[in-house]
Amino acid sequence: MRTRFTWVVAILSLVAVGALLACSTKYSASSNGLIVVSTFTGDAVMDSFSLNLGNGSVARINNVNGPPTPGAATAVVLDPAGAHAYVIVNKNSAIAQSVTGITSYSIASDGKLALVGTTALKDAVVPVAEVMDSAGKLLFVAGESGTVSVLSIGSGGTLTEVAGSPFALPAEGGGQSPVASALAVTPTVFPTLGTQNSPCSGFTAPTTENLYVTDSINNVVLNYSVSPAGALKLVPATTLTPGVATGTVPSGVTVDPCGRFVYVSNQSPNNSVSAYTICNAVSLPKCPDANYSLQPVGSPTTVGDLPGPLLVNPLGQFLYVLATGASEVSMFRISSSDGSLTALNPPSASVNSAPMSMAIRSDAQWLFVANLNSANVSQFAITPATGALTPLPAITTDNLPWGVAVK
């Protein structure tokens, strides 16, 4: 009888532990990370997952397979508060009644997404890339026809296109009609994690911002100053040339979180990353003017096949480049003195088939890659001291995941 009672107590204890574990997978904005994934066509829904910040385990949030997207969804960004997601959608015959524009979703306290609405861009602009400023006030969208649309973010996640938008990219002398491929904006909020060792320590974040846009047909990166209202004004490289030269087919651009350096990924045939110093008050001794123009840093650095998205970790120490043709992430240490790159050892980490986008959490400890053909997201733990990536089990998603963002 005593033995039987002991087994009953043991079983009840296991049930209690199971119940606690089940409760622990629920999302809490104060204690968990949030991963949001957009799916292209296939299921054409939004997925969300809760991230355990202690061990990296991931649990699907019960959102009934996610709210649908009103078009083929690609890139997704979250606002700084993690209250809204903004997704590029394009009309596609595989999705009934689909449209083209930017779709907004609200994010509830339990991590579930709900459709707010879709904003069509003026002049029927077809969006190809997007980025949000660090204050969460403006959304910049690269257009397929060589434009940049700027949208003001209002209460409830609403979007309103600013006066003058869309802004046309300039023609390069002797070049072809411009094609906007990627964009990045300088920060007005510096990272606060690890302040003592942060490269931003001792510097005050600027109150103004600049936008950098790659033109993949003319092989340049363009510099725009951004007014408080969101209007763009070109800062030409010289009196004769609007843009700064990149490698061939620039396909990605990023700014380090301290506003010191810009990095551009270049595709065929060289597969490289170009580095630039941002000419601001901090770098003034190296630059003729503090107008956020770009000064090249050395020669381009070789990376894996067909590099696309690239990101600097939130403390400005490491650069990660998604080599879409090689299904890997190339990894580099950033020199704090001049922005030059040194490959880590090992120099890359493998991901799954057809990687499309990449995200790093603001605590600089987790990196995610959406793999279109694998129906999953590759997940890595980042070693803060070395930048090394340790693979964790892939996150199963709905079909054809394209965009990934993390809070």
Tell me what pLDDT residue 17 has. Answer: 36
Tell me what pLDDT residue 268 has. Answer: 80
* 86, β-bridge pairs: 77, 104
**Tokens 């202690």 found at:** 54
Tell me what pLDDT residue 11 has. Answer: 35
Cβ burial 137-165 (10 Å sphere, 16+ → b, else e): bbbbbbbebbbbbbbbbeeebebebbeeb
* Residues 378/355, Cβ–Cβ less than 8 Å: yes
By C-alpha distance, which of 130, 112, 100, 116 is closest to 46? 112
User: What is the separation, in whole angstroms, between the first and last Cα of the chain?
Assistant: 53
Beta strands in 203-279 (DSSP E): 209-215, 220-226, 232-234, 244-245, 250-255, 261-266, 272-278
By C-alpha distance, which of 347, 344, 406 is closest to 379? 406
Q: State how far the alpha carbon of 179 is from the alpha carbons of 147, 164, 279, 309, 402, in Å.
A: 8, 19, 25, 17, 21
pTM over 0.85: yes
pLDDT tens across the length of the chain (407 residues) = 444 434 433 333 333 333 333 333 578 888 899 999 999 988 899 999 999 999 999 999 976 678 999 999 999 999 999 999 999 999 999 999 999 999 999 999 999 999 999 999 999 999 999 999 999 999 999 999 999 999 999 999 999 999 999 999 999 888 899 999 999 999 999 887 654 557 787 778 899 999 999 999 999 999 999 999 999 999 999 989 999 999 999 999 999 999 999 999 999 888 999 999 999 876 666 787 889 999 999 999 999 999 999 999 998 999 999 999 999 999 999 998 899 999 999 999 999 999 999 999 999 999 999 999 999 999 999 998 999 999 999 999 999 999 999 99
* 131, β-bridge pairs: 140
Residue 241: burial class (beta carbons within 10 Å; 0-12, 13-18, 19+): middle
Tell me what pLDDT residue 303 has. Answer: 97
Tell me what pLDDT residue 274 has. Answer: 98
What domains sit in the chain, N to C, each tagged with a CATH number?
A: 124-304 (2.130.10.10)
